[in-house]
Structure formats: C-alpha cells, structure tokens
Chains A and B, each alone.
Chain A
Amino acid sequence: MIKPTNGVRAFAIAALLATVAAACGSSEGNEGGDQLTGTIRIDGSSTVAPLSEAAAELFMGENRDVQVTVAASGTSGGFQKFCIGENDMNDASRPIKESEVEQCGQNAIAYDAIQVANDALSLLVNAQNPVDCLTVEQATQVWDRGSKVKTWGQVTGLNAPGDFAGRQMTLYGPGSDSGTFDFFTDEINGEEGRIRIDYTNIGEDDRQAVDGIKSDVGAMGYVPYSYAQEAGEGVKALAIDGGGGCVDATLENVQNGSYVPLGRPLFVYASGTALAKPEVLAFMKFYVDNATSIADAASFVPLTEAQVAAQHQKIEELVSGVGQ
C-alpha cells in the first residue's frame, strides 16, 4: 500500500475542505427577503425562445442568484414536459391543444396563457420580385398539397409582368416539426400538415430560407416576422390580402389585428405551482412589464398597453387561484 506523504495528506485535506465549503455555500437559501435565488426552467417554441432568452438575460442581470434556462424543443415538445411538471414555463406559438389540456388536467397542473408578444409570418420574396401583394387564395394555390404551380405566371390573377411570368418558383419552408409550419399550413391550406411535397425543407434553420431567397429572384418562402425583419436588404415581405385589401406586414398591422390570417399572439404558459415560487413570479411580472423592450430587443411585435394590463390581471388570478 502506498503510504501518503505529508504533502499528499495536506493536499487531500485541503481538497476535502474546499469541496465541503462549495457544497455548503451553494445550498444556502434566501438570505434575506430581497435576494431571489433558484432556477427557472423554460422550454417550448423556437419562435418564442429568442424573446424568453432576451427576458432571461435582462432578468439575470438584475437578479444574479437566479438561473433561468431557456430550451427550444418546439411548442408540442415543451407542452409535453410542461404538463408533467418538468418545466416552470412553456413558450408557445399556438394555443394549447385539447389533448395537452387533458394531460395537464391529469397531472393537476393549473396554467394560464400569458401573452408576451405578437407575431406574424411573412411571405418573403426576393427584393427584385415585381410582385407586392398576394391574396390568401393565391397563396393556397401555390402552397397547397398537389399544387402544380411551377412559375410565377401560373398563379391566377397575379398578372406577373411578361419577363417575370416564366420565372421558376423555388419554395422554401420549415419542416413538420416547426410551429411555424403548423401555423402556416393551418391558416393557408386549412389543415395542419397539409402542404405540397416539393418545397425545399430548411428544417429549423429559418436563416437558410432567407439566404436562399436572397440568391434566387424567383424564390418564395415563409418565415417568422422576426427573421424577416432581421433579413435586411435583398428580400421583401409580401402584403397579404385576407379579404380586406392588401395589408403590409408592419408592426401596427400585426398589433391591431388587421394582418390576417398570418398574425398570431405568442404566449408563455405559466403553471400555478411554478408561480408559487417567488423567483418565477418575479420573472413573469418582469417579462410582462418589460414586454415592449424585450420584444424590440428580439425584433418582435410588442404588446399594446391594453394587452399588458390584461396579462397582469391574468397573472394575479393564476397566483391567487393556486393559493386557495
């Protein structure tokens, strides 16, 4: 057996003390009433994730002892974990589904949807594309299952100028895992998952769609509004005619609800049990209070004043509902 020398012995004791000190140090709870500590787990939509990340960074800057982790497994995947209590909050780009409501009910998770921003999908085309506006029927004609549209001239009623009419249409869109995909197919084609099969699937990487559209004059794709805003030069968003004339994809139009049908509210679902923890409640209130600056930081469409007030109301109800 190796006999420990004095040096080795001293090192071992020092290491042991250091480990004990570290372990004891981190298990101290609230030192005082003002110091928030703990971990907040957020998961869900990859569309809402940038918002939650911006909120988390700002919040952690003010509350150094709170750890906020934001994952992005997709809205459905996040709800799965939310309804079994694995997450404190779920980012969602769509309202909760019936099956998910049941699951939450089974596990006694009380929740409410706190709206944190507005969002829209933009139909992007190359900046040199002469088309400016597309009706919903024309969009359906292009994107629906079994669509045979290959060139811009084949879209009925579009009246593409002569030299552009023969231009081939390359389509970009996300895969079936994406909440953006679910939303777009539901609104434009009438059913989630219903889409033509020969578009270029860019997976979850919306930037790839933007790059593809920038390099091809005849290309079209649909991306979340935030990516369209960040894309800058080289692409432009089409105005959408949902029955009431061509509506541009601007901040005001999304907020006042006139950008139909591609506008949607973005939610964070908070569970009653999670809000019982002081750090989660503080974060949720922080999120809503600073929703405008957070949305601006992440290039989203912020809430209006009225929407902010309504969300505070919802938070109060949820907290008091659990307390009973």
Chain B
Amino acid sequence: MAAPSVGAGNPHRTLEAASPRYGEKVIKVLLALCGALSVAVTTGIVVSLLFPTIRFFREISIGEFLTGTLWAPALVPRSFGVLPIVVGTLMIVFYALLVAIPVGLASAIFLSEYAPSRIRKIVKPALEVLAGIPTVAVGLFALWYLRPLGETIFPFLTWGPRQTVIVAGVAVGLMIVPIVASISEDAMRAVPGGLREGAYALGAGKLKVSTRVVFPAAISGIVASIVLATSRAIGETMVVLIAAGAGRPDLTFDPFAPAQTITAYIGGAATGDIPTGTILYDTIFAAGALLFLMTLAMNMVAIRLVRRFREVYE
C-alpha cells in the first residue's frame, strides 16, 4: 500500500519488519544446520571409506577383487576375490525376499481390503512390534529355534552344520515383513475408493478387486516397499553374523551350509584383532565401499522404477 504523503507528520511506512528480528534469523540458521547435518554425515561416511579403499586398490587390482572366487584375506596365501561374500549376501537377500514378499503383500492386502477394524487394531501394532525386535534377538531365535524347527518340519532335506544360509535368510525375511506390509498397505489404502466401487459395480468379486484393481493401482508404493526391504536385507549384519556363520573361503551356493555375507565379514573383522594400516584393515573398507555402492545402485533403480509406475489421481 503506497504511503500517503498527505498530512504532516505521517511517517513513511514500508512492508518490512520494524526491527531486525535476530531471533528468527538464528532459528533459521539452526534449522538449516540440522538439515545440512545429514548431508555432512553422508559425505563424511563416503570420505572415510574412500581413503583406505584407494589404498587397498593400489595393492589389489579391481579385476582380481571383483572377479576372484576365493575370499581369504587372513589365510596364507592371501586371496581377495570378493565373489564368495557377495554371493553370500545375495543368497540371504534371495531367501529373505522369498519369504517377505508373499507374506508381506498378503498381509497388506488382508489389512487394507479384508480386515475388519477390530482385527486391524491387533495386527497392525503386532507388525510394528515385529519391526522393533532387536536384530541380535532375531539372530539367536533363528539359530536356536528356527534351525531345529526346520529339521523337524523338513527332515528329508540335507541339514548339516547348525549355521545355514537358508535359516538366516528366512529369519531376515521375517524381520523385513513389516516393512513390506506397512508400506504396501499404506499404498493400497491410498487408492481412491471410486476405483474399487467401479469394479464392484461391474460384478467383480473381492479377490478380483484386490488383485486386479487395487494392487496394480498401488504398484508404485509396493515396488518402493520391496526395494526398501531389499536394502534392509542387504545391510543386515547381526542376524547373519549369528545365524549364517563364517563359511568357507570359496564360492558355494549351498543353502544348507554356513556362508559369510559382506556385512558379517566387516562385523567379524572389525571387532577382531587386525592392526590398523595393514592390507587386512583396508580390506574391511573395500568391502564396505562395495556394500555402499550396491545399496546406492539399488536405491537409484528404485527411484526410476517408482517414477515409472506412479499413477497420478486427480
């Protein structure tokens, strides 16, 4: 509003604040700092991984690292082929997703389409509790309860040592079911009711509506939930350390044998007795960098997939 210059003594008014409100400025700076903290921490982690990794690759060629099939950095003669522990990680993720995707999606469909409000009030918090169980407890549960249970239910399979990939994988799968179920259910509930009602009006049954109408409409959120669950499974350390054991230095695809994952190797080696500055020490960081890159690639694929499948409702 323009200041009227009529009348004596009327001060020229502006729209700016009368006093420079320093309090507001300080708060703005503090909040910005908090936001910047996450960026700083991520950069810090990347940098701390970078230098020992570079030192590692001065001694060992990238080709030998990525394509070698013998992982024996502490044995003589040393061998730094990372494939055995990568395969260990991928096997765990495979068995975990084999359990988590069907169970999680079925739970999500049940919770969003079928469950009456009473049942929902019980099941949803139960899922939250499952998500909150400490991973070390899940690991011990897998080793001491799931493994004997597996032997009892499937005695015809070739069970050998106590620590196996398949039991650890199933335990990780059970642990990530809440991630898949929760996020998928939210995605499905966000589908507009009009789509469902239209399908019912055309004579579809409940199952057909759930699987042929709601599920495809919510696919973007469902894919996001599966990717999140996979990231979690790749990075899971404690359960695999306890339940999947140390494994052999060479490549194996046997689910009934122990196998070491990247995370279990890092966890075991870092808490052991390796002098800093040696090649063994750098190996931990090289493995960590590989893990970081795997998860990063996973997340970038996820963003692309989610964008591609997203359906926008007006």
Residue numbers of A with Cβ under 8 A of B are 73-78, 80, 99, 145, 175-177, 185, 191-195, 197-203, 208, 211-212
**Contact residue among B70, B161, B258, B275 (Cβ-Cβ distance under 8 Å from A197):** B70
In the assembled complex, the Cα of A99 lies from the Cα of B162 at a distance in Å of 38
Alpha-carbon separation in the docked complex, A194 to B75 (Å) = 6
Complex CA–CA separation, A203 to B265 (angstroms): 12
Contacts of B272 in A (CB 8 A): 73-74, 77, 177
Stretch of B1-9, B165-173, B210-218, B244-252 on the interface side: B244-252
Give the Cβ gap from A222 to chain B, nearest Cβ, in Å: 16
Q: Mark B144-181, 1 if CB is under 8 A from A, else 0.
A: 00000000000000000110000000000000000000
Q: Which of B62-79 contact A (CB under 8 A)?
A: 70, 72, 74-76
The reply on B273 being an interface residue by CB < 8 A is: yes
Residue of A78, A194, A195, A201 contacting most chain B CB atoms (<10 Å): A201
Measured between beta carbons, the chain A residues less than 8 angstroms from B269 are 177
A99-B275, A175-B246, A201-B245 given. 6 additional CB < 8 A pairs?
Answer: A192-B76, A193-B76, A197-B250, A198-B248, A200-B161, A202-B245
Find the residue from A73, A74, A191, A203 having the highest chain B CB count within 10 A.
Answer: A203
Shortest 3 CB-CB contacts between residues of A and residues of B: A77-B273, A176-B74, A74-B273
B side interface size, CB within 8 A: 21
Please, which residues of chain A bring their CB within 8 A of the CB of B258? 200-201
Whether B288 is near chain A, meaning CB under 8 Å from some CB there, is no
Determine whether the beta carbon of A212 is less than 8 Å from that of B161. yes
With contacts A73-B272, A80-B275, A212-B161 taken as known, whether A177 is within 8 angstroms of B248 at the C-beta atoms is: no
CB neighbours (8 Å) of A76 from chain B are 273-275
**A212 nearest CB neighbor, chain B only:** B161
| CA distance in complex: A175, B260 (Å) | 12
| Given A175-B246, A201-B246, A201-B247, residue A193 in contact with residue B273 (CB < 8 A) | no
- Please give, as numbers and ranges, the residues of chain A lying within 8 Å of B268 by CB-CB distance: 175, 177, 203
Q: Could you mark each residue 261-273 of chain B with 1 if its beta carbon is under 8 Å from any beta carbon of chain A, else 0?
A: 0000000110111
The reply to whether B76 and A194 contact each other, CB–CB distance below 8 Å, is: yes
- Nearest Cβ on chain A to B255's Cβ, whole angstroms: 16
Distance between Cα atoms of A73 and B74 in the complex (Å): 16
Q: A176-B74, A177-B272 are in contact. Are A197 and B248 (CB under 8 A)?
A: yes
Given contacts A197-B70, A198-B248, A203-B246, contact A191 B76 (CB under 8 A): yes
| In the complex, chain A residues whose CB is within 8 Å of the CB of B246 | 175, 201-203
CB distance from B55 to the nearest CB of A (A): 19
A51 to chain B, nearest CB (A): 19
Assembled-state Cα–Cα distance A195/B162 (Å): 22
Q: A177-B74, A197-B248, A201-B245 are in contact. Are A208 and B162 (CB under 8 A)?
A: yes
- Taking a contact as CB atoms under 8 Å apart, the answer to whether A80 and B273 are in contact is yes
Min CB distance B85 to A, Å, is: 13
> What is the CB-to-nearest-CB distance from A212 to chain B, in angstroms, rounded to a whole number?
7
Bound CA–CA A73/B258 (angstroms): 23
